[in-house]
Structure 1
Amino acid sequence: MDHLRRGVAAALGLLLAATPAAPATADPGSPARYTNPVSADFADTFADPAVVRGDDGLWYAFGTSDPLREGEKTAHRVPISRSADLVDWTYVGDAFTADQRPSYATAGAAFWAPDVRRVGDHWVMYLTVTDTTVSADTFDTAVGAATAPTPAGPWTFVDQPVVAPRPGGGGGYLWTIDPSRFTDTDGTSYLYYGSYYGGISVTELSPDGLRAVGTPTLVAIDNKFEGSYVLRHDGWYWLFASTANCCAGPATGYSVQVGRARSPRGPFVDREGQRLDVSRAGGTPVLTQNGNRWIGTGHNAVLTDLSGQDWIAYHAIDRADPYLDEPFGVNERPMLLDRLDWVDGWPTVNGGAGPSDGPRPAPVTTARLDERFAAGLAAWRTGSGDWRVTNGVLAGQGTLTSRTGTGGDVRAEADLRLTGAREAGLRLGSTEVRVGAGRLTARDGGRTASVALPASLDLTTRHNLAIEVRGRRLVADLTPDRLGDPVAVLTTTLTGPAAGPLTLLADHGTAEFDNVSAARLYRPVRHPAPTPAVGRLLPQYSDEFTAGLDPAWQWVRRDPDATVAGGALRWPVEGTDLTGTGNTAGVLLRDAPTGNYVVETKVTLDLGEETVRNYQQAGLIAYVDDDRFARLSQVAIWNTRQVEYGYELPYAGQPVYGGSIVGTPATTTWLRLAHRIDPATGEHEFRAGSSSDGVRWTWGAVWTFPADTTPRIGLAAHGGAEPAVTAEFDYLRVYR
């Protein structure tokens, strides 16, 4: 089996060029449209992006250490870019100089996958240190940290790892990479980290966020997940994780899946109730390639615009330009941005339509009320107290009311800091939301609702208070950095509309306010993008295996051990494969109909659980030749059992193999490939789907074949002969 698959499950969850659902409504002043990749103005590649909003109201993005441009050759050491609108980005420098590193890092160490968070009155960057002085191993990875007064820096390394290198039981060191911080409503902070060798773990952090403390918990199994990102939404903890190979050039099938839990330590389960930390690991698709130019869509961060709409930042590969310079060198992975919708309670990109390629409505980053206090208090009127602006920050006590009115569904927010006030907050009409005295409190028409703030919370450092009013439902949250980990969330029903101007409040002392806005609340997407539908059966292209093998079948390297009897094709799994240049596996094929169709099989393959049985598999195949095929199989990948949608194509004189993951297999698994002809290019698009019961389907990635090819469809059972196991196919059905 191709060596790139070692420990890496190829995961898919994609859509077949479905029409994106309706976007949020932008406020006046926001850019009308944008086109991916958003990093194009300053970089050809900008992998593993993290995005934060700084105290100056601007957005900052951080990427993995790679060259930014074609031909540059020298890697930037965590490049930083800045934007006012999340669309047009400017490179502002590297976080670290060429000779800057912590004492435990070797001179040749690289810094990957930054995660940046506000902690108290400063910012902390968590990042992967690829090579440490712990051993002679060149991949004894650790999670490091650096601190800075602003997202732009200057950044200073902390001279000890947050999570030190961890020896692996099977040799080498566990992959201690891809850190992501999360702070819970009790004030406890956690760090998620890990990858294919060792899985994803979570551990508690010390109060300063610079040391792992306590005992870590495994939350996602090894050999399937990496690139974690956790947020809290609607009372659930959501673990976003990337799966499959990040960097297989034109065959990269990296994608994002999600599970949810009632605790930050899990267990996280997908939409079907499948856990992410077991051998047959679950994972609900959030983002995967859909047949346009973008493949390998993964390693995400999540941010929220001024309208309350969530967005997902991630990297992807242009399948027509997969490498930064020479073939098989650095994978070119620019930063993309797309809308993250919550449909039926679950996150999905563009309503389920996947990554965008072409003009799209842009995030709301300029609101009807959008105050940075650069012009003083000209747009405000004092109700009481004394208010002053110094260096773009408002400070005072009493009340200060905007001259700009608000009405209808609205999101209002402000960065605030209690410098002496007992309470401070925002008022919309007659509705007030305040922080202070240990609580987040809403008052409306004589009614009061409140929730406790963490006992350790320091309100003398800056926090973001946001209020969303939709109809008569109010949701308020307090966060350190607007990144989906609120330290308090309050939901209440109002007695009437929260209409009227926005007022800033500070009682019994002074408070500071900055980045004050009030925007029309986003319009949520209610309905998912369509998935492939099964129409009428085409008997002439189908076989129920009731009368021997239909003569329409054609063998490539006939396997005499494959037999048909009793309404099933029984095929002992071969100790052969199709990947690379070996091309020794048998393939059973038949011609496909013209136009659009769906092909389905039901396959039983007892792979057990937990044990290593690389890479036994059986399933569907779309096949042009031995070096151009897409294979959808239930497969054993080390200790895991997955539904892999593998893909091989010729590139730069050699075959390249990668893949994606689609759903969770059972011993009996239903598999589908939905074929579509792209009307613009004539390409053949095959979208993969799987089911563990034949009723509920998980749809994943799309792989494409050139317009001038004629893919056949069929079955395969190969990848490893030991221990002996037989795949049983109940049928092959083709539907129009």
Structure 2
Amino acid sequence: MIRMSSRSVDARSVKNRSLAIFAICALLAPGVLRAAETDCLVRDPSTMVKQDGTYWIYGTGRGVQQFSSTDRLHWTDRGPVFAVRPAWVSEAVPENRHNNAWAPDIHYFHGQYHLYYSYSSFGSQRSGIGVATNSTLDPRAWVDRGVVVQSPTSQGFNTIDPCIFVDFHGQPWLSFGSYFSGIYVVKIDPESGKTAAGAVPVKIATHPSPPYGDIEASAIIPHDGWYYLFVNWGSCCQGEKSTYNIRMGRSKNVTGPFLDKDGKDLKDGGGTIFLDNKKSDGSEVGPGHVGVLFDKDGDWLTTHYEWAKDKSGATTANVDKLTWDRDGWPRVATP
């Protein structure tokens, strides 16, 4: 029999207790949580941004909803960005009378945060995307800069669901679109935050079933020399019966072609499944609206699910750890 001194036993006991405490703390640390349904009940969450240790997301709702968090799991409602409807909306989208803003997105460039948001009415092509700026993310300090792009019925596209991003050369771009003729991308002037002079929207994705089908909620994520395009197929806003699912492709160029894993162009209806219609355990249905924050402790995916079982069916934001496979394709990390 091997005998240990009381000093050795005490040392091992202390070490074991220390390891146990470390393990518990690691599980609670924001950076180690790999997949999580949050307590934020919001539709169409923006890309998550971070300033001075505080995270922010923005979502569909009256005047654009805004939320803050210090751990990416528990969120505080900070009220609307716009207490009243922006002035340009009454002329561009007169049917939207109740200050209902849709699917915002946010990015920092040219010394300010730029928040892009859309106004429309359900099922209508008469829509518009505006931009507001803020140097600090103070929820009361947003300044509206007016309309960026709009889609009267004479145009083939629908200007909702904006995604703002900056390419590898520092040039900002905006992708947008819903149903009708698909998803488009257009160059943005970094100084004004609006469409660059002479810029023309370029189509980059459609749904395969005529007439163009269910496609919206685009996001373009620059990463490791590639531009990854995510889009939603299917229908939203039907609770547990929503058919939303997320597809993806990638390109070396902002304007495409974006090809899926099988080499099919998303403009021709391609799109590899990224997140299927429901979680494997049935707890949530209808993922939508991709955003990615590249943080110090990893890459974090934001989405919403149209229906969450433990939230009485409410639309709920999720924050998941994102990883990349050996071929460079993204996937949600397994908890």
Q: TM-score range by the shorter chain?
A: 0.7 to 0.9
CA-atom RMSD in angstroms: 2.7
Distance 1:166 1:198, change over 3 A: farther
2-structure distance, mates of 1:37, 1:209: 36
2-structure distance, mates of 1:146, 1:30: 33
Q: Deviations over 1:691-719 (max 9, x none)?
A: xxxxxxxxxxxxxxxxxxxxxxxxxxxxx
Please list, as runs of the form range in 1=range in 2, the aligned pairs for 1:156-195 lying within 5 A after superposition: 156-159=143-146, 161-168=147-154, 174-195=157-178
Amino acid at match of 2:116: Y
Aligned partner of 1:227 among 197, 217, 223: 217
Residue 168 of structure 1, CA deviation: 4.5
Distance 1:201 1:88, change over 3 A: same
Amino acid at match of 1:210: G
Distance 1:259 1:34, change over 3 A: closer
Q: Deviations over 1:382-415 (max 9, x none)?
A: xxxxxxxxxxxxxxxxxxxxxxxxxxxxxxxxxx
1:203 and 2:186 matched: yes
Residue 269 of structure 1, CA deviation: 0.4
1:37 and 2:37 matched: yes
- The residue number in structure 1 matching 2:75 is 89
* SS in structure 2 of the partner of residue 266 of structure 1: coil
- The residue number in structure 2 matching 1:147 is 133
- The residue number in structure 2 matching 1:440 is none
2-structure distance, mates of 1:323, 1:177: 28
Residue 152 of structure 1, CA deviation: 3.1
Kept after mapping to 2: 8 A contact 1:341/1:347: yes
Q: Deviations over 1:552-604 (max 9, x none)?
A: xxxxxxxxxxxxxxxxxxxxxxxxxxxxxxxxxxxxxxxxxxxxxxxxxxxxx
Please list, as runs of the form range in 1=range in 2, the aligned pairs for 1:480-559 lying within 5 A after superposition: none
Q: Deviations over 1:65-93 (max 9, x none)?
A: 1xxxxxxxxxx322211111212222222
- The residue number in structure 2 matching 1:53 is 49
1:317 and 2:316 matched: no
Q: Deviations over 1:25-75 (max 9, x none)?
A: x9698246587421x2xx5x301112443432211111111xxxxxxxxxx
Distance 1:298 1:194, change over 3 A: same
2-structure distance, mates of 1:204, 1:78: 24
Please list, as runs of the form range in 1=range in 2, the aligned pairs for 1:363-402 lying within 5 A after superposition: none
2-structure distance, mates of 1:102, 1:323: 36
Amino acid at match of 1:103: W
2-structure distance, mates of 1:267, 1:319: 35
- The residue number in structure 1 matching 2:316 is 334
* SS in structure 1 of the partner of residue 37 of structure 2: coil
Distance 1:200 1:209, change over 3 A: farther
Is the helix fraction higher in 1 or 2?
2
1:118 and 2:108 matched: yes
- The residue number in structure 2 matching 1:343 is 325
Unaligned runs of 5+ in 2: 1-24, 207-211
Aligned partner of 2:279 among 283, 290, 303: 290
* SS in structure 1 of the partner of residue 306 of structure 2: strand
Aligned partner of 1:269 among 234, 259, 264: 259
1-structure distance, mates of 2:164, 2:294: 17
Residue 185 of structure 1, CA deviation: 2.5
Residue 195 of structure 1, CA deviation: 1.2
Unaligned runs of 5+ in 1: 1-25, 66-75, 132-136, 325-331, 352-359, 361-736
1-structure distance, mates of 2:267, 2:311: 32
Distance 1:194 1:322, change over 3 A: farther
Distance 1:186 1:33, change over 3 A: closer
1-structure distance, mates of 2:317, 2:129: 23
Residue 334 of structure 1, CA deviation: 1.0
Kept after mapping to 1: 8 A contact 2:34/2:320: no
* SS in structure 1 of the partner of residue 240 of structure 2: helix
Kept after mapping to 2: 8 A contact 1:175/1:196: yes
1-structure distance, mates of 2:27, 2:234: 41
2-structure distance, mates of 1:231, 1:35: 20
2-structure distance, mates of 1:295, 1:104: 32
Identity of aligned residues (%): 29
2-structure distance, mates of 1:176, 1:228: 12
Amino acid at match of 1:201: Y
Q: Deviations over 1:202-258 (max 9, x none)?
A: 111113253213111100014242111111222111111111111222211211111
TM-score, with length taken from structure 1: 0.38
1-structure distance, mates of 2:224, 2:52: 29
Residue 347 of structure 1, CA deviation: 1.0
Amino acid at match of 2:127: T
Q: Which has the larger radius of gyration?
A: 1
Distance 1:259 1:311, change over 3 A: same
Q: Deviations over 1:671-701 (max 9, x none)?
A: xxxxxxxxxxxxxxxxxxxxxxxxxxxxxxx
* SS in structure 2 of the partner of residue 164 of structure 1: strand
- The residue number in structure 2 matching 1:241 is 231
Q: Deviations over 1:105-149 (max 9, x none)?
A: 343342111111112222111011115xxxxx9651111111122
2-structure distance, mates of 1:224, 1:206: 30
- The residue number in structure 2 matching 1:215 is 200
Distance 1:305 1:185, change over 3 A: closer
1-structure distance, mates of 2:99, 2:157: 16
Distance 1:29 1:261, change over 3 A: same
